[in-house]
Amino acid sequence: MMSPLKSDLFTDNKPISLSVKDWIIRKLAPKMLLSEKTIEAVVNHQFQGANEALRHVKSLEISGFGKFFFNEGKAKKQMAKYESQIALFSRILEEEELTEQRRKTLELKVQIAKDCIRDLKPKMYAFTDIRGMEEQPIPCAGAEDSDNEHEPGETEHL
């Protein structure tokens, strides 16, 4: 049996009204002879795993879909955009003649921008070393000296 990813799964045009995720679920369910609920659970699990992986590394490869990279240049522009939005909305909020609805809307926009900054900062500044090298433990200072009873600078004679 040919894999659904290798078949005509992606040759059909996706309807504009469907998200990519829903379209994948609807296309895979009959081809895999599984319920849409089961396929949805698998797709959600894969997306959650991908999101978690992107929190720790700068690239992610999904077999059959391609390789995705975290673009630091775009992230910096996005960060600047969110910071300017916060400054603008905060300035507008200082005006006393705002309606209550407008004030709530602006407060919500400020909070959304702050949340976006909070989510973006770890991706920009706290990536782990992705080369697979483990950090070596720092040896205790006393462990090296315990073998040698002589003073530093002295040579031991046999």
18 and 57, same domain (yes or no):
yes
Give burial (CB, 10 Å; 0-12/13-18/19+) of 57: middle
Residue 139 resides in a domain: no
Task: Between 67 and 126, name the one with better pLDDT.
Answer: 67
Q: Which domain holds residue 41?
A: 8-69
> Quick one: what percent of the chain has pLDDT higher than 90?
35
Residue 83 tokens read as 């910071």
Q: What is the mean pLDDT of the chain?
A: 78
Q: How confident is the model at residue 139 (pLDDT cuts 50, 70, 90)?
A: low
46 with 77, same domain: the answer is no
- Does the pLDDT value for residue 80 go beyond 90? yes
Task: Judge whether residue 7 has pLDDT over 50.
Answer: no
Q: 59: which strand partners?
A: 69
Q: Are residues 34 and 57 in the same domain?
A: yes
Euclidean distance between CA atoms 144 and 139, whole angstroms: 8
More confident residue, 55 or 68: 68
Token couple for 22? 């829903």
Both 42 and 76 in a single domain? no
